[in-house]
């Protein structure tokens, strides 16, 4: 099984004629994802690398039957691109774009609550169900089909940790990069609820970082509502207070959002926290053996 994407996923690339959009459209297609085409206003009717280009999402969805979009649009246009995709009937939007203004994101989150559309991101590396479909910029070669669900705020840490999991002989059911911006469409709890109900996921890896309180909320959920083994890693333990580290959402304000608080909350919930990414695989094996 898988969450978010599978063999039935049909993807439109918003911003397909841009450098990044086209490069990753080809990469997704090469992985086996059904990329149905792309959208760039004013360039409809063209074909790039074998992909049909449409002027609008409504036209593209109508002609391709796509159910998913991935957004490679500059941040000043990304909010409108997300809303256009939702209006066109897209069920899942993966936003790679970063730096979307917070007020725009608040407007988007409020708007999507009225729609049957899920948003992953912004500032997300994407989502992948190995061997079935990948949507985004994730390097498909490091993933292996299996039964470990991964949810992460950090793209590069996801790659490192997944590489260790794969090297240890464990595979992944689905990996989700929820994004590191202050306001995002899907948070840890949203993804953990899906992993809870997914029969193809036997264990969960949570990759968090400093800033906010999402990891603490995830710890409570895992301890109270998730019967599957879980392990975690928290990035940014040496970050100074008040300084943003990497992601816009990774900032400690006063005593809130510190790595020590997050690690303590996870440990109190019975969730082992790795001191370095390479430890995740061994912790996983221990928890799976205990289960």
Give the residue numbers annotated as catalytic, written as ranges: 247
Residue 243: phi, psi to the nearest 5?
Answer: -115, 130
Helix axes 259-268, 214-225, angle to 10 degrees: 0
The token pair at 265 is: 């909350």
Instruction: Tell me the Ramachandran region of residue 15: left when phi exceeds 0, alpha when psi lies from -120 to 50, beta otherwise.
Output: left
User: How many Å apart are CA 122 and CA 95, to the nearest integer?
Assistant: 5
User: How many Å apart are CA 235 and CA 58, to the nearest integer?
Assistant: 40
User: How many Å apart are CA 265 and CA 269, to the nearest integer?
Assistant: 6
CB 280 within 8 A of CB 274: yes
Dmax (CA) of the chain = 57
State CA 65 to chain mean position distance. 23
The CA–CA distances, whole Å, from 220 to 125, 148, 186, 206, 284 equal 26, 20, 17, 13, 19
Instruction: Tell me the Ramachandran region of residue 67: left when phi exceeds 0, alpha when psi lies from -120 to 50, beta otherwise.
Output: alpha
CB 37 within 8 A of CB 59: no
């Amino acid at each position: 099984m898988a969450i978010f994407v599978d063999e039935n996923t049909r993807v439109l690339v918003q911003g397909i004629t841009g450098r990044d959009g086209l490069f990753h459209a080809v990469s997704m297609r090469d992985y086996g994802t059904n990329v149905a085409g792309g959208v760039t206003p004013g360039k409809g009717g063209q074909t790039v690398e074998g992909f049909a280009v449409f002027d609008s999402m409504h036209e593209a969805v109508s002609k391709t039957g796509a159910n998913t979009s991935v957004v490679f649009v500059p941040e000043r246009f990304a909010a409108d691109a997300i809303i256009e995709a939702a209006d066109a009937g897209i069920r899942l939007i993966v936003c790679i774009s970063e730096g979307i203004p917070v007020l725009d994101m608040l407007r988007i989150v409020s708007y999507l609550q009225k729609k049957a559309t899920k948003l992953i991101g912004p500032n997300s590396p994407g989502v992948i169900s190995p061997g079935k479909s990948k949507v985004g910029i994730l390097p498909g070669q490091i993933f292996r089909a299996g039964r470990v669900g991964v949810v992460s705020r950090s793209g590069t840490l996801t790659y490192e940790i997944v590489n260790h999991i794969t090297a240890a002989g464990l595979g992944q059911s689905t990996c989700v990069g929820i994004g590191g911006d202050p306001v995002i469409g899907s948070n840890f709890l949203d993804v953990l609820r899906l992993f809870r109900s997914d029969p193809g996921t036997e264990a969960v890896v949570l990759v968090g970082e400093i800033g906010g309180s999402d990891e603490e909320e995830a710890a409570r959920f895992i301890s109270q509502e998730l019967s599957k083994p879980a392990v975690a890693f928290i990035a940014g333990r040496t970050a100074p207070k008040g300084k943003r580290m990497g992601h816009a959402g990774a900032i400690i304000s006063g005593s809130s959002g510190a790595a020590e608080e997050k690690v303590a909350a996870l440990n109190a919930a019975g969730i082992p926290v790795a001191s370095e990414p390479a430890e995740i695989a061994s912790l996983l094996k221990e928890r799976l053996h205990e289960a």
